[in-house]
Homo-oligomer: A and B are copies of this chain.
Amino acid sequence: MNKLLYGVAYYYEYLPYDRLDEDIKMMKAAGINVVRIAESTWSTYEKQEGQFDFSTVIKVLDAMEEAGIDVIIGTPTYAVPSWLVKMDPTVLAVTHQGEGVYGARQIMDITNPNYLKYGERVIRKLLEVCRDRKCIIGFQLDNETKYYDTAGPNVQAAFVEYLKEKFNGSTDAMNAAFGLDYWSNRVDNWEDFPDVRGTINGSLGAEFDKFRRGLVTEFLTWQSNIVKEYARPDQFITHNLDFEWRGYSYGVQPANNHFEIAKEALTVAGCDIYHPTQDELTGAEIAFGGDMTRSLKQNNYFVLETEAQGYPCWTPYPGQLRQQAFSHVASGAALVEYWHWHSIHNSFETYWRGLLSHDFKENHVYCEAKTIGRDFAALSPALCNLKKENKVAMVVSNDALSALDWFRIDTTAEGPGKTGYNDVVRWMYDALYKMNVEVDFIEPSCKDMDRYQMVIVPALYAACEADLQRMKQYVADGGYLITTFKTAYTDENVKVYHDAFPHVLSECLGISYSNFTFPKNVKLSGTADEQAELFMELVKPEGADVLVSYDHYAWKDYAAVTRNHYGKGIAQYLGCKTSEKYLQKLLADAMKEAGIADTVQNTEFPVIVRRMKDENGKRVWFYFNYSHTPAEAVYAGADGVYLMKEDQTFPGINVAAGEKLALGSWDVQIIREK
């Protein structure tokens, strides 16, 4: 990209009256230089089967082209027309909840032949209209594609074929791998395969989830191949990947595999990030989603959707919209795009408000966007194509996530627990974020882990032998590995290993354990009042140093935190969850030991420091104050010059190494080293 992209999703089709010219005028005034269109309105373009009408698309393209605003075309397949469902009701996914019923988006069986047939046709018709359009800079495939719990007969039949292949046709192999002797669940004839929706076998269930994540990759690759037939070389193909949703973008997505999709189907990674604001704005979700999406292709990425006003609880305080925009840039975003331009006047997302409120007037949020647009334009030369050079990586895994969904950490005989994989991932990520340690994300199968000086592995519950061996080798070769309870407990089929735990890693960690429990009133030894939380393994040191143990008469002989020298490296183990603060202390000590401690760790949340390297190899420092209360921070870079301060770009003021920075309410300051 040769400029910072500042965009909105634009729905001309949803307007209560035609105000295209007025909208464009207001966009220009706000520095909006890109719009995403078309991804939600199949039924507008094909009102009845085979009757195509792209007049609204053409009209918007004409107007944008004239206005000099770039366009991203979304393929309109994530919500299906009523006529298609009337024609073939099996277009709707059969799920664990039973037959589907028309209404919402993202309720299709993404393998349904009619859905694919008519979907392909509308995509091709749209792309024909879009061909040769200068203003179109790229394409978004579908939107937030997941497998939507599709589990109908055809999907299950395909799953059985997949299993046949996986197990070379041997039901015995499957029965052994999944432990189907249990509760008389064996399948000794593929014809007998029962409805997988009823299974109580987590190995089978997690495999079905993995299989269905594969369907998403297939689907998006299929779309990508169609789009490639029409796209120019300068046009990108992206997708709006989303995260585990807990009322906001929380963690690793269970229902698709970001890494695979990015590799197979995309030229630029993209995502949406929604997050709390007002007093709950911390920047953590922006950083998490950004770090994750940047890691997919190890390059700059698009924030294809983020909130302008969003739900009423998210109406930003003055300064927050601006701070958020630069937070994305500070993680490597090449595009910050709001969902959406105008608040919609009907239906489900009426209160998921855009830059413009329902009255279309200039409001305080839109007015703040204007300053962002202005500064994005001014700072584009300086902030384009910034890169990160992180020393720390975190391993994340869809398979571990699915497995821990089946085996929630806090499950008891009273019923399933609530705590899963992402709780542990975010516990560690947030601790690092708030102590100003930046990370990349990598897959368990990562072959060049030694790019990083420290690798952090939260709760990698399900992992294959080969991946674990590679981690062990990473330590032997001089790496610093930190891992936690629940890691390496089962294999890739969610079958618990049957030797010392953590399987394979036991040796490099210098520990093993046989039992575990939930801690109640278990203090960590040598602390004032730090408690073991959530889960504790009764770890026996076998060569490792015991950094912390338990102050409890029953568990006093076990280790809570250990460290072990192995080969040229060091491996640390956390046998229980702790407070975020205490985890930060442990991590800080480990970083010192690993020789990667940094002066920015003297600064801590709510002041957040993010570092990039620009195209000339110069460091660019972002200082954020995620608070209304003004704060101070010591500038940790070499002598530099302000790119932005007090909402002014290019103030040209010098900053000396070690100088004290005064940060205002919800402030962001940007400094480039000289």
Q: What is the minimal beta-carbon distance from A555 to any residue of chain B, in angstroms?
A: 9
Are A413 and B317 in contact, CB atoms less than 8 angstroms apart? no
Are B41 and A198 in contact, CB atoms less than 8 angstroms apart? no
| A396 touches B (CB below 8 Å) | no
Q: A179-B347, A347-B201 are in contact. Are A81 and B186 (CB under 8 A)?
A: yes
A628 to B552, CA, bound (A): 12
- Which residue of the partner chain, among B193, B350, B357, B628, contacts A202 with CB atoms under 8 Å? B350
Are A518 and B184 in contact, CB atoms less than 8 angstroms apart? no
A310 — which chain B residues lie within 8 A by C-beta?
413
A188 — which chain B residues lie within 8 A by C-beta?
43, 47-48, 83
- Secondary structure at chain A's binding surface: helix, strand, loop or mixed? loop
A185 to B44, CA, bound (A): 9
Are B192 and A83 in contact, CB atoms less than 8 angstroms apart? yes
Please report which residues of chain A, range 176-194, place their CB below 8 angstroms from some CB of chain B when the two chains form the complex: 178-189, 191-194
- Which residue of the partner chain, among B197, B200, B415, contacts A247 with CB atoms under 8 Å? B415
Q: What is the minimal beta-carbon distance from A182 to any residue of chain B, in angstroms?
A: 4
| One of A98-106, A263-271, A432-440, A597-605 at the interface | A98-106
A622 to B180, CA, bound (A): 44
Are A200 and B498 in contact, CB atoms less than 8 angstroms apart? no
Are A494 and B311 in contact, CB atoms less than 8 angstroms apart? no
Are B201 and A346 in contact, CB atoms less than 8 angstroms apart? yes
Binary CB contact string for chain A from 35 to 62 against chain B (1 if under 8 A, 0 otherwise): 0000011111001100000000000000
* Copies of the chain in the assembly: 3
Are B200 and A312 in contact, CB atoms less than 8 angstroms apart? no
| A149 touches B (CB below 8 Å) | no
A230 — which chain B residues lie within 8 A by C-beta?
none
Are A274 and B182 in contact, CB atoms less than 8 angstroms apart? no
A81 to B187, CA, bound (A): 8
Are A202 and B348 in contact, CB atoms less than 8 angstroms apart? yes
Are B181 and A361 in contact, CB atoms less than 8 angstroms apart? no
| A199 touches B (CB below 8 Å) | yes
Are B13 and A181 in contact, CB atoms less than 8 angstroms apart? yes
A309 — which chain B residues lie within 8 A by C-beta?
515
- Which residue of the partner chain, among B81, B198, B203, B318, contacts A103 with CB atoms under 8 Å? B198
Q: A44-B184, A359-B514, A518-B312 are in contact. Are A350 and B13 (CB under 8 A)?
A: no
A199 — which chain B residues lie within 8 A by C-beta?
103
Are B312 and A183 in contact, CB atoms less than 8 angstroms apart? no
A674 to B105, CA, bound (A): 70
| A246 touches B (CB below 8 Å) | yes
Q: A76-B184, A179-B347, A514-B361 are in contact. Are A311 and B413 (CB under 8 A)?
A: yes
Please report which residues of chain A, range 586-628, place their CB below 8 angstroms from some CB of chain B when the two chains form the complex: 628
A497 to B101, CA, bound (A): 30
A495 — which chain B residues lie within 8 A by C-beta?
16, 345-346
Interface residues, chain A, CB within 8 Å of chain B? 11, 13-14, 16-17, 40-44, 47-48, 76, 79-83, 85-86, 100-105, 178-189, 191-195, 197-203, 246-248, 274, 278-279, 309-315, 317-318, 343-353, 357-361, 363-365, 407, 411-415, 489, 494-501, 512, 514-518, 520, 535, 538, 553-554, 628, 665
Of the A-B pairs whose beta carbons lie under 8 Å apart in the complex, a sample of 24, sorted by A's number, is A11-B182, A43-B180, A43-B188, A82-B187, A82-B192, A85-B194, A86-B192, A103-B201, A104-B198, A178-B347, A179-B344, A182-B347, A201-B348, A203-B347, A279-B520, A311-B412, A315-B515, A318-B554, A358-B489, A358-B501, A359-B499, A359-B500, A361-B500, A363-B514
